[in-house]
Structure 1
Amino acid sequence: MNPVVHFEMPYEEKERLVQFYTQVFGWDMNYLGKEMGEYVVASTTETDENHMPIKSGAIGGGFYPNSPDMPKSPSVVIAVEDINAAIKRVTNAGGKILGQTVEIPSIGQYVAIIDSEGNRVGMLQPFEM
């Protein structure tokens, strides 16, 4: 089985977003900057030295700036052992690949897909797998 390892949601105002999730849930929010697409990483649970959740079943997430070419609703990222094989399975099952596979520094290979029902989902081949 391939586990859900991350969630993603859009934001309108970075400072408001960070204040909300810090105040309400106590999450650590880290801004990655322009070079990483204005992404904000949310640590939702205690992590180890590699920034991986210590608690089994817990995941972290991230927020991206709202834009016309990005989804307006939450989505999940699913870990796969072989991203190229997973891409073939997606297309064979009637899904679509959005763009090219990209490397996320120190994390792994990532690509977004559209599933058979029109949902946007991320796939990640972590470097550790």
Structure 2
Amino acid sequence: MCSVVHFEMPYKDRERAARFYAAAFGWNHQFLGPEMGDYMLVSTAPAGARPPVPPEAALGSINGGLFPFQADGPIHHPSVVIAVEDIHAAIQRVTQAGGKVLGEPMAIPGVGNYVAFCDTEGNHNSMLQPDMAAPDCPA
């Protein structure tokens, strides 16, 4: 089985995107120059840290899922799900950082509270306050 080990999202304004993810989720960034396509690396956890995973999952892997397309649904693009400790505090951070929350948090039985958002670059992602212990992130 091949694990997901990286994610990518487009940006329209690199500095604005870096500010958004730093303010909303505490992510660090590193700007690469034109010789590297003006890529921006992001770190979502301290070096060596791993997100909480069920014992049967491979350490360091990222799980995912597919959902039925709905023309009137909130998400029509690939999405990254970001674990947060408190979904209401995270909603406030996303909004204050210039993002837009898409709807209200939804309880997913046995998983946690979930809500989609749009970042400052137009990317649609989501947040999950897991029912299990969440990783360290801004309170």
Alignment partner for residue 97 of structure 1, among 60, 85, 101? 101
Corresponding residue number in structure 1 for 2:62: 59
Let me know the Cα RMSD of the aligned residues.
Answer: 2.1
Which of the numbers 97, 105, 122 marks the counterpart of 2:126? Answer: 122
Contact 1:99-1:112 at 8 Å conserved across structures: yes
Structure in which a larger fraction of residues adopt strand: 1
1:74 and 2:52 are equivalent in the alignment: no
Separation in 2 of the partners of 1:127 and 1:78? 14
Aligned residue identity for 1:67: Q
Structure 2 residue identity aligned to 1:123: M
Instruction: Check the 8 A contact 1:112/1:123 in 2, yes or no.
Output: yes
Deviation at 1:64, TM superposition (A): 1.2
| Contact 2:77/2:124, CA 8 A, preserved across alignment | no
Q: Percent identity?
A: 52
Q: Structure 1: 5+ residue runs without aligned partners? A: 5-49
Give 2:84's aligned amino acid. V
1:113 corresponds to 2:117: yes
Distance between the aligned counterparts of 2:68 and 2:106, measured in 1?
A: 18
Alpha carbons of 1:120 and 1:52: their partners in 2 closer, same or farther (altered >3 Å)? farther
Report the alpha carbon displacement of residue 51 of structure 1 after superposing the two structures with TM.
5.5
Distance 1:124 1:91, change over 3 A: same
- Normalized against structure 2, the TM-score is what? 0.53
| Number of residue pairs aligned between Structure 1 and Structure 2 | 81
Query: d(CA) in 2 for partners of 1:113 and 1:89?
Result: 11
Deviation at 1:54, TM superposition (A): 2.5
1:81-114 CA distance string (max 9 Å, x none): 1111100000000000101101000000100000
- Can you give the 5+ residue segments of structure 2 that lack an aligned partner in the other structure? 1-6, 8-52, 134-139
Moved beyond 2 Å, runs of 4+: 50-54, 69-73
TM-score (normalizing by structure 1): 0.56
